Structure 1
Amino acid sequence: MEKSITFKELSQRWLSVSSLGKTYTYQQNLQSYINHLNNGIGDCKVADVKPAHIDEIIRQLYIENPNTKKPTSKKVLKNIVDCATRIFDYAIENELIYKNPARNKKKVIPKNAPTKIVSAITPEQQQLVIDTEHRAKIAAVIMMFMGLRTGEVLALEWGDIDLVNYNLSVNKRTQRISSNKYIVTEGTKNGKCRYVSIPVNLGAWLKKQKDISNSYLVVPNRNGELQSPTQWRNLWNTYQNEINYSAYCKKCVNAGLIPANKHTPAGIPRVVNTFNAHQLRHTYATLLYISGVDVLTASELLGHSNIEITLKIYTHLDKQFRELNISKFDNYIQSDLDINNI
């Protein structure tokens, strides 16, 4: 390997080696981190890259991510630094350099870099999930009340659902193998299978869905086959539009107005925020917390690889609901008690 090699050339060689046997999504994530690094040092010779170059990349991304136009989250910054560290370690192994300019750079990631927190959907949105009819509704209901991941829902078969004992076996998931193709693989994200209880009042509804289904899959495409990434994305987008239209119609009725046709050229105003599938899984975690399910049981139901992940969610929820309760207290003493002349 020539010593005049640029970082961009080296990173692609490293990627081809390190991504062998890895999933398509894993490879795409690494390429995304490399793209950020290339924006700053791609054309530099590997031997010329200094720690200050890495510092500047972190600083620029902290200020604004060129893709989102927002500050880069702490987790992504750490992943970018980790990727750079591994690439330069590869350069050291091949005797291109003798010191890694990215090592220990995680220490300089700003403490106030944003932490991405997935939020549960609101009670209004939860009711809209229940009330709005759409092909994606069954996926949304299963994610919100049984906590499955998107890949687990798309791979779910009716044979995995026991409507006699009200439980669901989560034993496989979809894996992306190209830009627009999923395959089904055995096991879940953490490699383990799990059983999730089905709320009793959802059992009858699921049975009706099974009776009218034309596929062995619970959430198939229109041909009864496994969804592709594009099909799933389009399905979810139309579902969000239908959710919004349901909310819009309710608001019109409450205001004594006649709702516009959903296909009106002027478009339907956005009256409720969109939400992604992962927020429904977080909603399930929140519902477990509110109903008093202990953290160990919640961890098993959610299929987390270790209890620390669940503890982190529960700790955040504990803080969130404690602040909410204090807010209720403040509102009470301000509105219901006369303390102005205390």
Structure 2
Amino acid sequence: MVKGKRIYIYSRDLDSLVVDFEKAKEEAANEVEYLKRNLTLDNWFHEWFENVKCHKVKETSRPTMRNGYKRTFGFYMGRMKITDIRPIDIQNTINAMEKAGASHSAMRDNLGRIRECLEFAVANQFIPANPCIQIEVPWSFRRPKEEVALSQEEQNEFLSAMEDNWYRELAYFMCLTGVRVGELGGVKWKDIDVKNKTIRIERALSCNYVDGVKRQALTTPKTVNSIRTIPFIGEMEEILLSQKQKQSVLKKELGKRWRGKGEFEDLVFTTGMGSPCSRYIVDKEIKKALNRMRTKEAQSAMEENREPREFRDFHPHSLRHTFATRCFEAGMEPKVVQMLMGHSSITVTLNIYTHVMKSKLHEEVSKFGLANKEPIVITPIETPSFSAHAYY
């Protein structure tokens, strides 16, 4: 074996065999050196990703990672030879990505993969050192978006707006389980245990575009903790019965035109033609319901001669956050909520708990002193006069 390449030489004459072997060694060494000198980042990333990285990530994550590379490092320096790449080249690429408007998280994520990719090149002696060192990646100073959780009143308004919709039961299911939208699309009737009143979450619907072609598949959920059993809550049994009856009637009417076949057969929630319910469909129906809520409120405000209430924009994940909020408002323990939500870390659950507690802060503080029949008289004292602009 010469520099990783196995050589086979056959001859009946020993002297000839030795000569041929030395010649083959030289050719193999030259070939390996040629490949090393001319190996581009595109070539090496493909080799590393398909043979190493692919085995460590979910199949549904692979298209996103490949496309991320193509849009970032592949676009700017994919044709560079890996032996020519220096830290300044990596830094210049990061700077170019920032100038082009790439998100800071995209820069960090893709830099991490390139660092891992080139570290494997070092391990295979293709390059002497990893050029992804001391790279300055900009950090976002924008305030992170606050996750929206509907109030009980807003939740009621939303469900009311979904009342005459094909996806009515879907909306109730999300509000009563807190499942991720992908998990929602993966629930099958065999996962529903009516006798024990439980719902098993053990798969998720994924949707990716590969070479411009939409591909849907049922995969494992996000994490190991995502595989869980959720008990029926509230009107769940009634909602599932309604969905089953409605779906059965439609399947009979459509006959062979029903699209729920193969791995998508037996799904609880589908479109009116039997196709899986993707994130796009759920998001679109939520937006339609939100528009109905706003229109109804505007009409009521006009009739009552008042300013209309504002309804915040929300999306499928907001219903998950809303469910967790209802759980905490009902006094559930964080560990129980974590199990229901399928959070991999209790920290995520506690962040929602903290948010709920903050919203109740003024409500709880306002109760202080209500038991006193006589009002508390506070004698004002002289305080130094500070400029508000100096402290705010």
Q: Specify the SS of the correspondent of 2:303.
A: coil
Aligned to 1:196: 230
1:211 aligns with 2:245: yes
Aligned to 1:317: 352
Distance 1:323 1:60 in 2: 41
Q: Specify the SS of the correspondent of 2:147.
A: coil
Equivalent residue for 2:112, pick from 72, 76, 82 = 82
Preserved contact between residue 173 and residue 236 of structure 2 (Cα < 8 Å)? no
In the TM superposition, 1:61-210 aligns within 5 A as 66=101, 71-73=103-105, 76-103=106-133, 109=137, 113=141, 119-123=147-151, 125-133=154-162, 134-176=165-207, 179-185=213-219, 188-191=221-224, 193-210=227-244
Distance 1:329 1:302 in 2: 27
Aligned to 2:9: none
Equivalent residue for 2:303, pick from 228, 252, 256 = 256
Q: CA deviation at 1:132?
A: 1.9
Q: CA deviation at 1:219?
A: 0.9
Q: For 2:284, give the aligned amino acid.
A: N
TM (norm. structure 2) is 0.65
Preserved contact between residue 72 and residue 113 of structure 1 (Cα < 8 Å)? no
In terms of mean alpha carbon deviation, does 114-123 or 163-172 score higher? 114-123
1:51 aligns with 2:87: yes
Aligned to 2:270: 220
Distance 2:81 2:148 in 1: 46
Aligned to 2:11: none
Q: For 2:322, give the aligned amino acid.
A: T
Q: Specify the SS of the correspondent of 1:182.
A: strand
Aligned to 1:268: none
Preserved contact between residue 8 and residue 42 of structure 1 (Cα < 8 Å)? yes
Question: Which runs of 5 or more residues in structure 2 are unaligned?
Answer: 1-34, 252-265, 305-309, 369-374, 382-392
Preserved contact between residue 40 and residue 53 of structure 1 (Cα < 8 Å)? no
Preserved contact between residue 15 and residue 30 of structure 1 (Cα < 8 Å)? no
C-alpha deviations, 1:222-271, integer Å up to 9, x for none?
222434x5xx52453144123222322222222229xxxxxxxxxxxxx6
Q: CA deviation at 1:116?
A: 5.3
Aligned to 1:37: 73
TM (norm. structure 1) is 0.74
Q: CA deviation at 1:65?
A: 7.0
Distance 2:122 2:43 in 1: 15
Percent of aligned positions that are identical: 17
Equivalent residue for 2:62, pick from 4, 27, 47 = 27
Q: CA deviation at 1:158?
A: 2.9
Preserved contact between residue 175 and residue 323 of structure 2 (Cα < 8 Å)? yes
How many residue pairs get aligned? The number is 313
Distance 1:51 1:327 in 2: 52
Distance 2:236 2:160 in 1: 13
Q: Specify the SS of the correspondent of 2:38.
A: coil
Distance 1:330 1:292 in 2: 18
Q: CA deviation at 1:330?
A: 9.2
Q: For 1:297, give the aligned amino acid.
A: V
| 1:37–1:340 Cα change, 3 Å | farther
Preserved contact between residue 128 and residue 247 of structure 1 (Cα < 8 Å)? no
1:5 aligns with 2:39: yes
Q: Specify the SS of the correspondent of 2:80.
A: coil
| 1:4–1:128 Cα change, 3 Å | farther
